[in-house]
Structure formats: C-alpha cells, structure tokens
Amino acid sequence: MTLRPRLRAALTAAMKSRDAAAVAALRSALAAIDNAEAVDPAQGPAPAPAGGPVAKSVAGVGAAEVPRRELTAEEEAAIVAGEAAERRAAATEYERLGRTEDAARLRSEADLLDTFLEAP
C-alpha cells in the first residue's frame, strides 16, 4: 500500500479513537499532498477569443478540465517529511517561548508522520 492510502486509513482510525493530535497531523499531511497535485494555471486550456459568449472563457462542457499532477511515491514521502520537519521547527520555537505543551504536541505529531516514512 502506498503512502496516501496508509495516511487515510490512519486518519479514519484516529478519528474513531478521537486522537486530536493524530487527526491534525494526518489531515495536514494529506492536504499538503493534495495541494502539491494542483495544476499550474499556465498549463490550463487557452481562453476563447473575446467574441465568445463570455469573454476569455473556455467554451464547452468539460473544456476547462485539466488532470491533476500525479506524484511519485518519493515526492509524497518528501512532502510528509517536510510536514514533520515543519512541526519540529515550530516545536523548537515553542520551546524557546516556554510553550512546552504545544512543543510536545508538535513533536508527537512529527513522530507520528515519521512512522509512515519508515514503514513500507
């Protein structure tokens, strides 16, 4: 099973067990992967000339549809690793500010994300 289905399955389990920290970390990682698949607007279809029914629009049903990017397993893993690294950096900053509970929560979220990078 690839990374995204494992994250989704873990999210379902975390929601059922009401583990708020795990739910937050998993939702954030899944959202980051989804955002990375977004299409560059420059790659979309060219707008119709200004003489059409709506200026600078694309005519026809589905004409504006563009497939999302397909990420490789390595790209998905890099995104999740980046999410974990961001949490660790924020935890360090929270420690510096004396917010030890928030820092501990972020570190546990980062550790959770790291477990998905280690497992096949």
- Lowest mean pLDDT of 1-5, 58-62, 94-98, 100-104, name the range: 58-62
pLDDT at 73: 92
Does residue 101 surpass a pLDDT of 80?
yes
Provide the pLDDT confidence category of residue 118 given band limits of 50, 70 and 90.
confident
Q: For domain 1-37+72-120, which CATH number applies: 1.10.1510.10, 2.40.30.10, 3.90.1150.10, 1.10.1740.10? A: 1.10.1510.10
- What would the pLDDT profile of 3-54 be if each residue is shown by its tens digit? 999 999 999 999 999 999 999 999 999 999 999 998 776 666 665 555 556 6
- Mean pLDDT for the stretch of residues 84-90: 96
- What would the pLDDT profile of 54-86 be if each residue is shown by its tens digit? 656 666 656 667 778 889 999 999 999 999 999
pLDDT at 47: 58
- Mean pLDDT for the stretch of residues 79-104: 96
* Among candidate residues 93, 76, 84, the one with its CA nearest the CA of residue 114: 84
